[in-house]
Structure 1
Amino acid sequence: MSRHPVFDALSRRRSEPKVTSATPDDAELARLIGAAAHVADHAGLRPWRIVALRGDARVRLGAALVAASGAEGAEAAKLAGKPLRADLLVAVVARSVPSPKVPDWEQEAVAAGVAHALALLLDEAGWGVMWRTGGGVRHPAVAAVHGLEDGERLLGWLYVGGVPERRKHDPKTVDGGEFLTVLG
């Protein structure tokens, strides 16, 4: 089987749970978002947007996650610290665009596609990336931190940073045949 760059990028991709404080600047991030925008998008609605959280925005997010959970004490402190695991969080927001032919679920799938494409692009650019979600993604306090409007839904965050030392990942192989159904 011949190899192709996209095949290789997908085969190599691994989540990086721990990253350094180095991050792409806004210009590099915008360039990568521009490339990710080329995912399949029925009717070209672009039903998504990206919110970059840096600095104190991550602290405000931690407070919103605590409010969303109702946690107290040590549990609250742990939850508040989660957004501080990376100096850049890239929030992926699905937004419903009125369309007679593209249902909301399909628009949300496009936003998820952008998130995955952006994660691959960041990884290929040498950044550590991990897509994180959690119970707070749909809570009003968390939505407020991101400035979400009616019809917008947070899908999660890409935690982005430098890779301290490229860990040797055992190549994972997946037997695609286990997931393939062929209809004749």
Structure 2
Amino acid sequence: MNHRTMTEIEELELTHLTQPSLEMKESWVLKPTIAKKKKKFSVACISSNRKLLLWLGGVLCVSCIIAMTLSKTLPHDHYIVPPLTKDNSTIAIPVALKFFNAQISGKLPEGNNVSWRGDSCLNDGKFPGSSYPHLAGGYYDAGGSIKSNFPMSFSMTMLSWSVIEYSTKYQVAGELNHVKGLI
């Protein structure tokens, strides 16, 4: 019996040591750490710190005031269309367009200002059994008898952009309809 009593005592001591005491349990349950709550502000599903929100609002207001002040006080440069006047471009434009007139392939348009040129390559792509469409027209490349599409497409693109940018210069030179016909 003495032996049993000893094991029971050991079990009691072990169970006592493995389980936290009642005082320990109560201190954890009754005295949780109290975290300081931050003031939150919620607008349209956005929750934010109130101080941060006020700071961002102030920065936004100040930047708007600075932008409005600068837009009112700085000078404004408005684009002014230059008057239609004759200058050196009225001489250069017809000479430059003469190059394109000389490079035309196919049936030449009326009023072509290159006297030594006539219609050329009117039967390009026309041969029996050909599935290609009629290929007359277009432009030759560099004065030869070859029609290269990539170099000439670049030239036509540049000519088109020059008409977009400087249409008033073409109009003063009297070549606006001519250059549109070339394109």
**TM-score w.r.t. length of structure 1:** 0.22
Q: Which structure's relative contact order is higher, taking Cα pairs within 8 Å and 6+ residues apart?
A: 1
Tell me which protein shows more helix as a share of its residues.
Answer: 2
**TM-score w.r.t. length of structure 2:** 0.22
